[in-house]
Structure 1
Amino acid sequence: MFLPTSLATILVLAAIVALGPLSTDMYLPALPRLTTELNASIDQVQVTLSIFFGGFAVAQLLYGPLADRFGRKSVLLGGLVLFTAASFGCATASTIEELIMFRFLQALGACGGPVLGRTMIRDIYGPTQSARVLSMMATIMALAPAVAPIIGGYMLLAFDWSAIFIFLGVYGVIVTLIILFKVQESLQPENVNSLHPLVIMKNYGQLLRSRIFLGYTLCCSFIFAGLFSFLSGSSFVLIDFFGVSETNYGFYFTAVVMGYMAGSQLGQRFGPRLGINKMLIMGTSVGAVAGTLMLTASLLEMHNLYWVIGCQVFFMMAVGIVMPQAMAGAMGPFSKMAGTASALLGFTQSAIAAVVGLIVGHSHTGSPTVMAASISLMGILAVVSYLLIIKPITTEIKTH
């Protein structure tokens, strides 16, 4: 068994948190091809992304309370088994409807990774050190979305799109075995929570009444929705509008992910010194400015591939700064129901992303404008969440 505080444990938890990015980013280069091979519209193909985040959102509300009652490890293993089976199911889909169904089931299994990975970090490191470790884990985890589109693009040269989902199924098998034999349970006996419906509703009610929880959660969710706007529109904008090849798409995506890794490293280095809130205002401001610059160029019809990628690199830097800090801030005060807090945070994050993704897909006009407008709006809303909710509360706490 790995020691709970060992680097090996952090690497494994990063691998399970990466289930979400891997499940979306690896097949992004295949989205335009799916419209012809499955005889589907762009709207229908993008539903395979949004339905994933819809399933991600709903299932997290169950994972949290279950993990607070039965432990993190057993619940996580159940989710991994479902993810693995659904991934192989996606590979066998012959219609867009079948793919959408299996993507939903894949999401139900995959969402256990982020929920319980964050929760286990909170269990092991507590409220003060978890932001630093989450930033470290985010840097490691960023390798997955950095290489996933490249792997997916080159797999499309040699194989059918279904090979991407076979790869995800094999990944699920490997991670399941490592969790089963090498990772220890992190839930302490004194923190075991009741699974009674009234207790669950009471816990969720306590979280929803907490302005500090809502502020950090909304800040995290809006910045993530900006990222998802790029995921929803980038393959069509880069491949169809700018003429980027399926194989080269992954390299542009990797450049964007490098921004995320840089932001995560900034959070890891300066977060303990500056504190969560200073990092948040810095990160959300960078995101709002980057998104607005991308939108301005598009509205002026100054369409340039490198400008779009450059703006998104800075937006992703903001995502890397904001998300680990906001997650730690949201879960910090709730040690006895960390799983439930992580679940509600994840539900909110995924639900907003799913809605934004549907809007981007439905409104897509071929140019970068719709994608850029959504990225800009989400960055601005993240700033507003900090200024209107988080800052007044923390100022009030300091004065008492």
Structure 2
Amino acid sequence: MFLPTSLATILVLASIVALGPLSTDMYLPSLPRLTTELNASIDQVQITLSIFFAGFAVAQLVYGPLADRFGRKSILLAGLALFTTASFGCATATTIEELIVFRFLQALGACGGPVLGRTMIRDIYGPTQSARVLSMMGTIMALAPAIAPIIGGYMLFVFNWSAIFIFLGAYGAIVTLIITFKIQESLQPENVNSLNPLIIMRNYGELLRSRIFLGYTLCCSFTFSGLFSFLSGSSFVLIDFFGVPEANYGFYFTAVVLGYMVGTQLSQRLGSRYGINKMLVIGTLLASSAGISMLAASLLELHHLYWVIGCQVFFMMAVGMVMPQAMAGAMGPFSKMAGTASALLGFTQSAIAAVVGLIVGHSHTGTPTIMAASIALMGTLAFLSYLIIIKPISINTAAQR
């Protein structure tokens, strides 16, 4: 067994938190091709993305209470088994309807990774150190989405889109074996919660009444939804509008992910010095500015590939600064129901992203404008969430001291 505080444990937990990004980013280059190979419309292909996040959102509400009652490891292994099976199911799909169904099942299994990975970090490191470790883990797991579209693009070039899901199924199987034999249970006996529905609803109610939880959760959710706006629209914008070859799409996506890695590094190095709230105000302001800059250029019809990528790099830098800090801030005060808090945070994040993805896909006009408008709106809403909800709380807390 790996020691709970070892780098090996962090790497394994990063690998399961990365299940969501891997399951979306690796097959992004194939989206335009799926419209012809499965005889589907752009809207239908976009549903394979949004349905994933819908399933991701709903299942998290179940994973959290189950993990608080039965422990993190057993529930995580059950989720990984479903993810692995559904990934192979996606590979065998012959119609867009079959792919949508298997993507939903894949999401139900995959969402256990982020929910329980974050929760286990909170269990092991507590409310103070978890932001630093989540930032470090974010840097590590960013390697996956950085190379995933490149791998997906070349798999698409050499094989076909189904090979991508075979790879994901094999990844799930390997991670399942490692967790089975190398990762310890992190839930302490004194923190075990009841599965009584009334207690579960009471816990969710307590979280929803907490301005601290809601403020941090909305900051996290809106910045993530800005990222998802790019995921939903980028393959069509880059490949169809700007003419980027499918095999090269991943390199542009990697440049964007590098911005995220820079942001997580800043979060890790500066977060302990300046605190969660200062990192959030800088990050959300940067996200809003980057999105508005992309939108302004598109509205003026100044369409340039490198301007779109450059703005998204800065937006992703903001995502890397905001999300680890906001997650730690949302979960910090709730040690006795960390799984439930992580689940509700993840549900909110995924639900908003799923709706945003559907809107971007349905409204796509063939230009970057809709994607850019969504990114700008999400960045601005994240900044307003800090300004309206979190800042007044921090001012009142400081005054009381």
TM-score of the two chains, using structure 2 as the length reference: 1.00
Residue 351 of structure 2 is matched in structure 1 by 351
Q: Which runs of 5+ in 1 are unaligned?
A: none
Distance in 2 (alpha carbons) for counterparts of 1:356 and 1:117: 25
Where 2:43 maps in the other structure, the secondary structure is: helix
Residue 12 of structure 2 is matched in structure 1 by 12
1:329-364 Cα distance to aligned partner (Å, 9 max, x none) = 000000000000000000000000000000000000
| Alpha-carbon shift at residue 11 of structure 1 (Å) | 0.1
1:201-252 Cα distance to aligned partner (Å, 9 max, x none) = 0000000000000000000000000000000000000000000001100000
Residue 161 of structure 1 is matched in structure 2 by 161
Question: Partner amino acid for 1:12?
Answer: V
Residue 204 of structure 1 is matched in structure 2 by 204
Which consecutive aligned stretches of 4+ in structure 1 deviate over 4 angstroms post-superposition?
Answer: none
Residue 270 of structure 2 is matched in structure 1 by 270
Residue 3 of structure 2 is matched in structure 1 by 3
Matches within 5 A, 1:362-373: 362-373=362-373
Distance in 2 (alpha carbons) for counterparts of 1:97 and 1:39: 11
Where 1:371 maps in the other structure, the secondary structure is: helix
Q: Which runs of 5+ in 2 are unaligned?
A: none
Where 1:117 maps in the other structure, the secondary structure is: helix
1:92-118 Cα distance to aligned partner (Å, 9 max, x none) = 000000000000000000000000000
| Alpha-carbon shift at residue 399 of structure 1 (Å) | 1.1
Matches within 5 A, 1:37-52: 37-52=37-52
Distance in 2 (alpha carbons) for counterparts of 1:360 and 1:158: 30
| Alpha-carbon shift at residue 394 of structure 1 (Å) | 1.1
Distance in 1 (alpha carbons) for counterparts of 2:287 and 2:160: 36
Matches within 5 A, 1:233-382: 233-382=233-382
Question: Partner amino acid for 2:89?
Answer: G
Residue 225 of structure 2 is matched in structure 1 by 225
| Alpha-carbon shift at residue 398 of structure 1 (Å) | 1.3
1:156-197 Cα distance to aligned partner (Å, 9 max, x none) = 111111000000000000000000000000000000000110
Distance in 2 (alpha carbons) for counterparts of 1:87 and 1:247: 22
Where 1:365 maps in the other structure, the secondary structure is: coil
1:137-171 Cα distance to aligned partner (Å, 9 max, x none) = 00000000000000000001111110000000000
Where 1:186 maps in the other structure, the secondary structure is: coil
Where 1:303 maps in the other structure, the secondary structure is: coil
Distance in 1 (alpha carbons) for counterparts of 2:223 and 2:270: 20
Residue 81 of structure 2 is matched in structure 1 by 81
1:293-346 Cα distance to aligned partner (Å, 9 max, x none) = 000000000000000000000000000000000000000000000000000000
TM-score of the two chains, using structure 1 as the length reference: 1.00
Distance in 2 (alpha carbons) for counterparts of 1:13 and 1:119: 10
| Alpha-carbon shift at residue 125 of structure 1 (Å) | 0.2
1:70-103 Cα distance to aligned partner (Å, 9 max, x none) = 0000000000000000000000000000000000
| Alpha-carbon shift at residue 56 of structure 1 (Å) | 0.1
Matches within 5 A, 1:41-80: 41-80=41-80
Distance in 2 (alpha carbons) for counterparts of 1:232 and 1:13: 26
Number of aligned pairs?
400
Question: Partner amino acid for 1:264?
Answer: T
Across the aligned residues of Structure 1 and Structure 2, the Cα RMSD in angstroms comes to 0.3
Identity between Structure 1 and Structure 2 (%): 85
Distance in 2 (alpha carbons) for counterparts of 1:191 and 1:394: 28
Distance in 2 (alpha carbons) for counterparts of 1:167 and 1:94: 18
Distance in 1 (alpha carbons) for counterparts of 2:195 and 2:141: 31
| Alpha-carbon shift at residue 396 of structure 1 (Å) | 0.8
Distance in 2 (alpha carbons) for counterparts of 1:370 and 1:377: 11
Residue 142 of structure 1 is matched in structure 2 by 142
